[in-house]
Amino acid sequence: MAASLNQKVDALVKSNPEAAKKLEETIAALEKTYLSGESAEGPIGRLGRGFQTFKSNVYDKDSALFDKLKTGQWPKYMIIACSDSRVDPATIFGLNPGEAFMVRNVANMVPAWEPKGGYPSVSSALEYAVKHLKVEHIIVIGHRLCGGIKALVTTEEGQGSHDFIENWLEIGKPARAATKAVSGSDEVDEQCKFCEKESVNVSLTNLLSYPWVKEKVVGKKLSIHGGFYDFVEGSFQVWDFELNVSHSQKF
Backbone angles phi, psi at 66, to 5 degrees: -75, -25
Residue 236 and residue 230 in contact, taking contact as beta carbons nearer than 8 Å:
yes
Residue 207 and residue 112 in contact, taking contact as beta carbons nearer than 8 Å:
no
Q: Are strands 235-241 and 223-230 parallel, antiparallel or unpaired?
A: antiparallel
- Find out whether 146 is annotated in a ligand binding site: yes
Alpha-carbon distance 98 to 58, whole Å? Answer: 13
Alpha-carbon distance 84 to 51, whole Å? Answer: 21
End-to-end CA distance of the chain: 55
pLDDT, residue 245, reads 46
pLDDT, residue 26, reads 75
Amino acid letter at 37?
G
Q: Would you tell me the crossing angle of helices 188-207 and 147-154 to the nearest 10 degrees?
A: 100
pLDDT, residue 32, reads 65
- Find out whether 225 is annotated in a ligand binding site: no
The string of DSSP codes covering 38-63 is --TT-HHHHHHHHHHHHIIIIITT-H
Backbone angles phi, psi at 210, to 5 degrees: -85, 120
- Find out whether 143 is annotated in a ligand binding site: yes
Alpha-carbon distance 197 to 211, whole Å? Answer: 24
What residue spans define the domains of the chain? 1-61, 71-250
130 secondary structure, DSSP code: I
Q: What is the CATH topology of the domain spanning 71-250? A: Beta-carbonic Anhydrase; Chain A (3.40.1050)
Q: What is the pLDDT of residues 190-231, one digit of tens each?
A: 999 999 999 999 999 999 999 999 999 999 999 999 999 999
pLDDT, residue 223, reads 96
Amino acid letter at 72?
G
The string of DSSP codes covering 214-242 is HHHHHTTS-EEEEEEEETTTTEEEEEEES
Residue 61 CA: distances (Å) to CA of 48, 53, 65, 68:
19, 11, 9, 14
Q: Which residues share a beta bridge with 235?
A: 230
Which pTM value belongs to this model?
Answer: 0.79
Spans in the chain with pLDDT lower than 50: 245
- Find out whether 186 is annotated in a ligand binding site: no
Q: What is the pLDDT of residues 115-135, one digit of tens each?
A: 876 668 999 999 999 999 999
